[in-house]
Structure 1
Amino acid sequence: MRKIHRTRIVALLSISFSSILSAQQVDWSLDKLPKLDNEQVEQRVQRLMQDMTIEQKVAQMIQPEIGYLSVEQMRQYGFGSYLNGGNTAPYGQKQADRSTWLKYADEMYQASIDDSKDGSRIPTIWGTDAMHGHSNVFGATLFPHNIGLGAARNPELVKEIGEATAKEVAATGIEWSFSPTVAVARDDRWGRAYESYSEDPEIVKEYAQAVVEGIQGTLGKDFLEGYHRIATAKHFIGDGGTTKGIDRGDTRISERELRDIHGAGYFSSIKAGVQSVMASFNSWNGTRVHGHQYLLTDVLKQQMGFDGFVISDWNAHKFVDGCDLEQCAAAINAGIDVLMAPEHFEALYKNTVAQVKSGVISESRIDDAVARILRAKVRWGLFDRAKPSLRPETQHAEWFNAKQHRDLARQAVRESLVLLKNNSQVLPISPTADILVAGKGAHNIAMQAGGWSVSWQGTDNTNADFPNATSIYEGIKQQVDVAGGNITLSETGDFEEKPDVAIVVFGEQPYAEWFGDIQSLDFGEVDSESYTLLKQLQAQGIPTVSIFLSGRPLWVNKELNVSDAFVAAWLPGSEGQGLADVILRDANDRVQYDFTGKLSFSWPKFDNQFVLNRYDADYDPLFPYGYGLNYEDTQRVGHLSEDKRLTNKNGTNEDSVPLFVRNLADGYFWGTEEANGAVNPITGPSGTSADGRSLTMQSVNLAYQEDGRRFVWHGEGTGVSAVLGQQGVDSVSTEQKMRFLQAKIRLSDGVSEHIKVGVMCNQKDCHNTLTLNGSNNSLKPGTWQTVAIETGCENANVQANGPIVLRLSSSNNAGLSIADVAWVKQPSKTAVTQRCE
């Protein structure tokens, strides 16, 4: 267990006070709050708490992950909840069936009520990311992701989807769903844009209530009864508004905008009786939400009247000032009630107990948190239900991937499709025609499902991971075969006889948050082959229908120009035949279903329209919010400009070359350099010098998760340096063109010893060196600042092809964090610059 330093108390207290002072005191109060309880519920909560020890209370607040949690540890501590992450299934079985999930739920339940070690018989609950259906479970029904549902404009449909999802979650014995996501995505580069129903809060507000009622039941009717599960509105607050769409970044807006845009889904969720709210990774105007007492306590719990519990996101507490993975009083004091601590739960539990006993965390704060958790458990009836496998709702094996659910998902696909172009009325297609189906996504269920589907990012999935699903090609083929038509599948578009029409399915490869963030909306930068295929078909005079799979609107002007028809299909999920229902006529040549989907996100006209939202002052989309053609429309889309406004690839600056910007560039590594000159690469985000103690490296966060590194030197005269090295790359020509190595650096508080930052080094010397210390007037400890060092100095006696691009060295105790390392032609105007003498 890590030792707790009482000096952190100042940092813990400062977070809430500074946040309150900076807030604009906007009114967040809700009128007509729902009355959820009678006196018996509160009396039962108090009876449960009156005999609980501090250890038992803290255990209710810790949430481990099944990949790290053993049944014996649950028996020992009696944790209040646990979760399965996006890449984890019971016993490590990705393709575990329903009965295996249920067996695991029983084991954890029984261990939690075993009081032989912890003295507690309070049952645990299992939380899961049922993002678009029970999406982490092999064989479940997968509904379209939220961005597609937003285009459907059908709150009753999403309520039914919430009910269906609750039934499939119930069938596996799980009590709690981490959904709905009620983010309002404002920058389409964000990797979670597809989790947002719309760029506009009006749809999000309406849908949030509908989904919560679907999952939990309706107040006054069937609330938290039977198959209904505990729902979670997430991520509170501002996750969809971060600068540049950077996941877990900073949302820099006024409090009124925060409330009116990003708060919409929380107002309606609370009115619907949502029982849990998940805090967001992002910051608001520089302060992490997980440590934001004003937002979590003053706004959410007091003004908005939320009486459920607040759960943290995956290890998000570690980014709060004064915190790390194993202790975070600041987050608890700010208002977090449950800490999602996948791996480090034992240390976090023990440290939190110690912090309560020492007064760093008040017992009243702990009591409030535990009362909120127990209140939700009592409301759900947990104490009156048997173990998971014996509950009435788990007896319905037929609910899992039920035909009714597949039909509902198929309906959702139909209603989510948006027709952007239909020149010459090529759609709908006769099923008796000779049809070519081509493209990377035609017979690729992983692409149509996207991220958060059986696995977190979805990148390792194949069709075999979706045993009950139908690909887009299979859905088309089913109807063509019945009608007597002819269909050919060729990903590359090859054919023996010229087809009457080609359907090309292409789009984004699967991704989820963080990895899904992009810098450019130009689809052609990541997939030029699809455009080549479309142009090929056009040149052969074949009418072509494009089916575009994506988690956000992208700049596809080139692809639109070589398509006769173009459908935004989003990420439709497991029921690919829903697309065939709309684009194909029936066997009698009649329209089966018309297009009804309308854009809930504005479509970009130019490649640099990252932020393009309804009501913007300079609003100029290609297809506006609410656009969507149907079969009666004769509107034609003319030839679109293919000129790019961004003059460089991926939206990056042609005057810079990244070496460690969010991730390491190919051929570069972080490592340590021993006194004898030996360089040892460090694989992964943390490590130590060869002796295991002189120099340590750990990941830190600047804008992205783990996009920085922190180096700490321990002791005197070790001669060990931290290095950014190169292997198999030629940085010499780059260095000659760029001339400056620039980085963001944060000196640790209290640093007094020199830290030398050298560039282009061999064992003895560097081209140029900048010396830093705590007394340097240009650098403030504890603050990220930019430094730039010129290379190619005339007096540099260094071979230009040395393996070390950057060396960080110190002769004594010192600490430094570094991020955004890049070659630049000219340093930033705000950079502390070391030029050649």
Structure 2
Amino acid sequence: MRENSIFRRSLLACTVFAILAGCDSSPKDAANNTSSADQASSAVESSKVEWPVIKSAIPQDAAVEARIDELLARMTVEEKVGQMIQPEIKQATAEDVKKYHLGSVLNGGGTTPNNDKYAKLSDWVALADSYWHASVDKTDGRAGIPIIWGTDAVHGLGNVVGATLFPHNIALGATHNPELLKKIGEVTAREIAATGLDWNFSPTVAVARDDRWGRTYEAWSEDPEVVGAYAGEMVKGLQGVYGTDEYFTDRHVIATAKHFIGDGGTLDGVDRGETQGDEKVLRDIHGAGYFTGIEAGVQVVMASFTSWQGTRMHGHEYLLTNVLKERMGFDGFVVGDWSGHGFIPGCTALDCPQAINAGLDIFMVPEPEWKTLFHNTVEQVNSGVISAQRLDDAVRRILRVKIRAGLFERGAPSTRSLAGREDVLGSAEHRAVALQAVRESLVLLKNKNGLLPLSRNSNVLVTGDGADNIGKQAGGWSVSWQGTGNTNTDFPGGTSIYAGINKVVSEAGGQVELSEDGSFKNKPDVAIVVFGEDPYAEMQGDVANLAYKPRDQRDWELLKSLQAQGIPVVSLFITGRPLWVNREINASDAFVSIWQPGTEGQGIADVIFRNAEGEVNHDMKGRLTFSWPTRPDQFLLNRGDADYQPLFPYGFGLSYQDKDTLGDDLSEEGIALGETVEVLEIFNRRPIAPWDIEIIGFQNDREVMSSNTLSLSSLSIEAVDRNEQQDARRVVWNGKGVGQVALGTANRQDFLSYAQEKSALIFDIKVNRAPTDKTLFRLGCGSYCASDLDFTEKLTALAGKEWQTISIDLTCFPNAGANFGVTQPPEEFLTQVLQPFSLLTSGELDITFARVRLERGAATGQCQ
């Protein structure tokens, strides 16, 4: 375990932030002497540390400011407020744009024109045109300000089928190639421009300090040095470089640095939580991407959902106004994040002058009732709750960005040079950049006896659930918000990992057999096993510890089975963060972290196989920008920590010339931590692996929920918002016959220790409509093994009330199988649980459920 040199290229010239942070181009601890433990301590009073004054590459222009003055002078209060309201496209029509003078719209993850997942480029352009024409209408004395449309293209244009999807940021960090980031920005901008859109909610410049955070993969590194090196280059790629012919052409888009500030440093890695550390930590750790991003000319900063020292960032006047705008000199606009203003105490999503007064310039408000926010804000301006000066400052910033971006002269989206061009989306040129990113991002962690690179003319078995699964390899923000519910056909032009291997080997005269479960007809020379994390995005990716699937051993057992047959094993691990995989590494001869490589799986085969002459085709270049844990509880593990004991240190990564001395004897004791957690999350914003949501209709139609909505013969289910975006599920039974919703898994789980330690099954529920027939709550362990509780009266009593928390002692469940004429003692059926949460009825019923968990010591000893 040695630290390879990671700085093959000069990462970072010492800019303004470097002067403060004390960085240089050497691979030492950047910016601070603060350990992770220090950051995890309670936040202290602000020390009002000195923040840098940033000189943006885009200077203020007197002519632009005069133009803004002229516009402001003839805009009504309603027109100004309209510039500050950003609805979601599902909730805003072209007529709304005109009537409410809307300055911008957005599409959320998975949202498409006409709610069509397969919307064509022409559909995107047509909708963009309709908004644009409505916005520039000058009848009745309107100012006619062109609208801008923002989208989350965080690793390529994820919402559009057929787009080029790059490896996620954690993989790009491992390339240590800032110049590549500029290329990726340019490609992403061109594909966005093909839709007619003009604004990207990217780059994410978080510095992820706790790998339990579900957005770790959106960060380039745990260290500010890499983030600072990358942010400015990505901005240049998206927007173009000021002073050149490539500055804000119609092939470029407005960039957004997000999420200001400290989103990667929350307590316990909880998304939207409380950022830890004092103001120096904010500056020296979490500020790096903003310093270089602003220096490069980024025009938008998105406020974070997080809090710091008890104040929500959307309402943090000191940081948004005093630090970002006044001290650092940011003169673009600050946009909110998905009704994040509604989390400010005293605010709702539809009423929040506090956010504007704190320095927010645009409300992102996806609620259908966004017009209420418009009217409330107009009233607050007229009454003086929001001053005329603050109103004009916000609108000035919005207009400044629009003028700089050339939107007043650019014309309708359909008239722009790339609009609607199918040859741009996923072009060979663009995919070549993504292929380069894949090749340079792979990190070789183990290579016993120099197994890699492989000969092309081998007999190869390709197995594992990620082998021929582009959706899994692409991760979150890929066609759908969470990256779920997709098949390979949803990525036309993309290449699965198996397809890339098959092409290389078959063309060289070798043989490839694909088998997800590891079976084969002819014993292979080598088995390539592709496995890892399933797709997830914000909130739904948070985990309790870093153990990889501790209660689901299928991948580990597959690896062991292959090795037991004398087959050399190459593991290709799909992941959005470093995870404790000691068992899997021990059971592998070679182990490669391939992260989430996106649509270009061919890039992996290009690296792990030799060329036709038997020489190295592409060397392993990736080097870790995240420290790899020795134990599952090392979630706070960052370069420079006082007690720094990683399995693989920051900067590690084997090349093919290196001799691997790792061995097969890594400690596997840590698995107990993952298996015996005090609170076993079954559903928390999403089903937690190995659990899935399944619904079963009366016609014996059954399906696992893999998208936002699903309907069968007797019931339907949809993802809905409770406290956060899509953190609950609403289930409606239609009364046509028996229907069941269940959280289940294909592999039996052992709950006996929980029962012995007085545990309870706890879940939150809201009964929207009482049951019209007998309703059962079921704990199931198979077709003829279930333990039922009659829930009819309980649900009836809760109908029409607000959210309630229900707790059921595990010992309250009757003998399993009683309803099937068999008897199975609780101690037996609790060792083979398949469905810990299930509701079924033949009548009508409408409920919404959220967070389902098994909690040790929570039993009350009473069964009702």
Could you tell me the TM-score, scaled by structure 2's length?
0.76
Maintained 8 Å contact 1:520/1:651: no
Q: Which residue among 320, 324, 330 is the counterpart of 1:300?
A: 324
**CA gap 1:295/1:650 in 2 versus in 1, 3 angstroms:** farther
How far 1:117 sits from its partner (Å)? 7.2
1:207 aligns with 2:239: no
Q: Which residue among 333, 350, 356 is the counterpart of 1:326?
A: 350
Q: Which residue among 432, 435, 447 is the counterpart of 1:422?
A: 447
Q: Which residue among 26, 29, 45 is the counterpart of 2:49?
A: 26
Structure 2 partner of 1:245: 269
Distance 2:810 2:609 in 1: 63
Q: How does 1:288-687 map to 2 (within 5 A)?
A: 288-342=312-366, 343-394=368-419, 397-525=422-550, 527-645=552-670, 647-649=672-674, 652-653=677-678
In structure 2, give the amino acid aligned to 1:555: W
Distance 1:539 1:764 in 2: 54
Structure 2 partner of 1:70: 93
Distance 1:449 1:556 in 2: 21
Maintained 8 Å contact 1:660/1:821: yes
**CA gap 1:114/1:564 in 2 versus in 1, 3 angstroms:** same
Structure 1 partner of 2:77: 54
Structure 1 partner of 2:278: 254
Distance 1:667 1:630 in 2: 39
Maintained 8 Å contact 2:54/2:291: no
In structure 1, give the amino acid aligned to 2:159: N
Distance 1:586 1:377 in 2: 50
Relative to structure 2, which stretch is displaced further, 159-168 or 114-123?
Answer: 114-123
How far 1:743 sits from its partner (Å)? 12
How far 1:115 sits from its partner (Å)? 3.9
Distance 2:742 2:114 in 1: 39
In structure 2, give the amino acid aligned to 1:326: L
- SS of the equivalent of 2:281 reads helix
Residues 337-364 of structure 1 deviation map (CA, whole Å, 9 limit, x = unaligned): 0111113321111111111111111111
Maintained 8 Å contact 1:65/1:83: yes
Structure 1 partner of 2:126: 103
Structure 1 partner of 2:844: none
Distance 2:608 2:853 in 1: 49
Distance 2:743 2:466 in 1: 35
Structure 2 partner of 1:145: 168
How far 1:477 sits from its partner (Å)? 1.1
In structure 2, give the amino acid aligned to 1:635: D
- SS of the equivalent of 1:392 reads coil
**CA gap 1:291/1:31 in 2 versus in 1, 3 angstroms:** closer
Q: Which residue among 200, 203, 217 is the counterpart of 1:180?
A: 203
Residues 59-88 of structure 1 deviation map (CA, whole Å, 9 limit, x = unaligned): 000001111212221222121000111111
Structure 2 partner of 1:825: 857
Distance 1:200 1:824 in 2: 36
Distance 1:331 1:554 in 2: 38
Maintained 8 Å contact 2:499/2:602: yes
How far 1:647 sits from its partner (Å)? 4.2
In structure 2, give the amino acid aligned to 1:451: G
Distance 1:256 1:240 in 2: 15
**CA gap 1:582/1:512 in 2 versus in 1, 3 angstroms:** same
How far 1:423 sits from its partner (Å)? 0.4
Q: How does 1:751-790 map to 2 (within 5 A)?
A: none
How far 1:114 sits from its partner (Å)? 2.3
How far 1:598 sits from its partner (Å)? 0.3
Distance 2:537 2:853 in 1: 25
Distance 1:21 1:476 in 2: 53
Structure 1 partner of 2:256: 232
Structure 2 partner of 1:130: 153
Distance 2:108 2:380 in 1: 28
In structure 2, give the amino acid aligned to 1:554: L
Maintained 8 Å contact 1:602/1:613: yes
**CA gap 1:91/1:651 in 2 versus in 1, 3 angstroms:** farther
Residues 198-236 of structure 1 deviation map (CA, whole Å, 9 limit, x = unaligned): 000000001001000000111222322341110000000
In structure 2, give the amino acid aligned to 1:262: H
Residues 639-661 of structure 1 deviation map (CA, whole Å, 9 limit, x = unaligned): 333433474446731xx677997
How far 1:398 sits from its partner (Å)? 2.9
**CA gap 1:120/1:635 in 2 versus in 1, 3 angstroms:** same
In structure 1, give the amino acid aligned to 2:457: T
- SS of the equivalent of 1:492 reads coil
Residues 162-214 of structure 1 deviation map (CA, whole Å, 9 limit, x = unaligned): 01111111111111000000001111111101100000000000100100000
Maintained 8 Å contact 1:422/1:566: yes
Maintained 8 Å contact 1:446/1:510: yes
Distance 2:461 2:324 in 1: 54
Q: Which residue among 251, 254, 268 is the counterpart of 2:292?
A: 268
Structure 2 partner of 1:190: 213
Distance 1:634 1:247 in 2: 40
- SS of the equivalent of 1:399 reads coil
Q: How does 1:799-814 map to 2 (within 5 A)?
A: none
How far 1:636 sits from its partner (Å)? 2.2
Maintained 8 Å contact 1:520/1:650: no
Maintained 8 Å contact 1:186/1:241: yes
- SS of the equivalent of 1:567 reads strand
Residues 540-595 of structure 1 deviation map (CA, whole Å, 9 limit, x = unaligned): 11111000011111111000011110110000011110001100112221211111
In structure 2, give the amino acid aligned to 1:277: V
- SS of the equivalent of 1:394 reads coil
In structure 2, give the amino acid aligned to 1:315: S
Distance 2:687 2:613 in 1: 58
After the TM superposition, which parts of structure 1 deviate over 6 Å for at least 4 consecutive aligned residues? 657-668, 704-709, 726-729, 731-736, 739-744, 760-765, 788-792, 818-822
Task: State the identity %.
Answer: 53
Distance 1:761 1:401 in 2: 54
**CA gap 1:381/1:546 in 2 versus in 1, 3 angstroms:** same
Maintained 8 Å contact 1:699/1:708: yes
Q: Which residue among 108, 112, 119 is the counterpart of 1:85?
A: 108
In structure 1, give the amino acid aligned to 2:183: E
Maintained 8 Å contact 1:184/1:200: yes
**CA gap 1:762/1:607 in 2 versus in 1, 3 angstroms:** closer
Runs of at least 5 residues in structure 2 that lack an aligned partner in the other structure: 1-42, 694-707, 709-719, 730-740, 745-750, 765-788, 795-804, 812-849
In structure 2, give the amino acid aligned to 1:587: A
In structure 2, give the amino acid aligned to 1:172: T
Give me the CA root mean square deviation.
3.7
How far 1:295 sits from its partner (Å)? 0.7
**CA gap 1:411/1:741 in 2 versus in 1, 3 angstroms:** closer
Runs of at least 5 residues in structure 1 that lack an aligned partner in the other structure: 1-19, 669-683, 685-697, 710-725, 745-759, 766-785, 793-817, 828-832
How far 1:30 sits from its partner (Å)? 1.9
Distance 2:755 2:656 in 1: 57
Relative to structure 2, which stretch is displaced further, 33-42 or 104-113?
Answer: 33-42
Maintained 8 Å contact 1:659/1:823: no
- SS of the equivalent of 1:533 reads helix
